């Protein structure tokens, strides 16, 4: 029994507490038995199908921008140079599309959402993340899902720039959810208190999209 409690109001403590909370939430989600790598109802493909709204925005790196806005300590608007100046990480993950194909072992390069969150420092009130793309597509994630240790704002696939048909120059990859949550041609990330269902979510897709529990449709 001590009267002494360490100061808990510093920025560092707040950040660390937040990460501890998020990590605890995520641990069970990313570990699963080895024999269940393919989620229920999925089949494996070797190719990489292209799925989108049919508009392919072509945004050269020279004019590309990523706005990171909302309830943040440090909102930012990255041009290509600023984005590439962030810590660069490699991730390997599986893709699970709600249309029932899965593709194993995709190699990504980019900025992890962890590092992005470090850079912008969301306020404690942030609960949801809204993504907007250059084709007008939108999708929504909880902060916990966005902050998955496997999630990455990616510019390269298999060591090469992501092809424009697959969302280049920059797309989000959130591998633990169905692929419609992985916004191609990423333009804006907004951190908010309240959820705001995106393009597919208002059209009958599940609000979260966990492939392991088949959260396909609402
Ligand atoms: N900007 C944007 N992102 C998007 C989409 C889209 O239409 N526009 N479609 C989503 C859907 S439904 C899927 S399955 C994947 C497909 O990505 P791929 O074409 O690289 O396989 O992108 C997701 N991200
Ligand atoms: Mo999809």
Read off the CATH number of the domain in which 96 is found: 3.90.420.10
**What is the tens place of the pLDDT at every residue in 140-167?**
999 999 999 999 999 999 999 999 999 9
118: three-class secondary structure by DSSP: helix
In a domain, 172, yes or no: yes
In a domain, 41, yes or no: yes
**What is the tens place of the pLDDT at every residue in 24-33?**
333 344 545 5
What pLDDT does residue 34 have? Answer: 57
Measured in Å, residue 179 CA sits from the centre of ligand 2 at: 6
Per the structure, the complete domain to which residue 167 belongs is given by: 11-213
Inter-CA distances, 46 with 50, 103, 104, Å? 13, 6, 8
What is the band of 36 on the pLDDT scale with cuts at 50, 70, 90?
confident
In a domain, 2, yes or no: no
Cβ atoms of residues 151 and 173 within 8 Å: yes
Number of structural domains in the chain: 1
In a domain, 206, yes or no: yes
In a domain, 5, yes or no: no
Prediction pTM value:
0.86
Pocket of ligand 1 (CB under 6 A): 48-53, 97, 133, 135, 137, 166-167, 179-180, 182-185
What is the band of 176 on the pLDDT scale with cuts at 50, 70, 90?
very high
Q: Taking Cα atoms as reference points, which of 162, 163, 49 lies closest to residue 100?
A: 49
**What is the tens place of the pLDDT at every residue in 79-137?**
999 999 999 999 999 999 999 999 999 999 999 999 999 999 999 999 999 999 999 99
Give Cα 10 to chain centroid, integer Å.
28
Indicate the top mutation candidate among 46, 131, 135, 180 to test ligand 1's pocket, ranked by most ligand atoms within 8 A of CB: 180
Residue 107: strand pairing partners: 92
In a domain, 176, yes or no: yes
What pLDDT does residue 25 have? Answer: 38
Handedness of CA 216, 29, 192, 112 (dihedral sign): negative
In a domain, 111, yes or no: yes
Helix (H) / strand (E) element for 172: namely strand 171-173
Indicate the top mutation candidate among 161, 167, 199 to test ligand 1's pocket, ranked by most ligand atoms within 8 A of CB: 167
Inter-CA distances, 196 with 38, 202, 208, 216, Å? 30, 9, 12, 18
In a domain, 6, yes or no: no
Query: 101-112 and 43-44: which strand pairing?
Result: parallel
Measured in Å, residue 54 CA sits from the centre of ligand 1 at: 10
């Amino acid at each position: 029994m001590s009267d002494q409690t360490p100061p808990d109001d510093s920025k560092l403590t707040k950040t660390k507490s937040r990460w501890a909370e998020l990590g605890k939430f995520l641990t069970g989600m990313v570990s699963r038995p080895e024999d269940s790598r393919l989620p229920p109802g999925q089949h494996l493909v070797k190719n990489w199908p292209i799925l989108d709204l049919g508009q392919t925005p072509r945004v050269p790196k020279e004019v590309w921008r990523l706005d990171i806005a909302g309830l943040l300590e440090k909102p930012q608007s990255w041009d290509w140079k600023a984005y590439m100046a962030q810590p660069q990480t490699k991730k390997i993950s599986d893709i699970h599309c709600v249309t029932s194909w899965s593709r194993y072992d995709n190699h990504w390069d980019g900025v992890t959402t962890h590092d992005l969150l470090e850079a912008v420092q969301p306020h404690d009130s942030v609960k949801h993340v809204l993504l907007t793309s250059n084709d007008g597509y939108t999708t929504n994630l909880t902060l916990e899902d966005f902050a998955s240790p496997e999630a990455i704002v990616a510019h390269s696939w298999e060591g090469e720039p992501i092809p424009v048909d697959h969302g280049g120059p920059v797309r989000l990859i959130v591998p633990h959810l169905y692929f419609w949550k992985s916004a191609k041609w990423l333009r804006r990330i907004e951190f908010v208190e309240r959820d705001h269902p995106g393009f597919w979510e208002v059209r009958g897709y599940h609000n979260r999209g966990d492939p392991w529990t088949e959260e396909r449709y609402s």
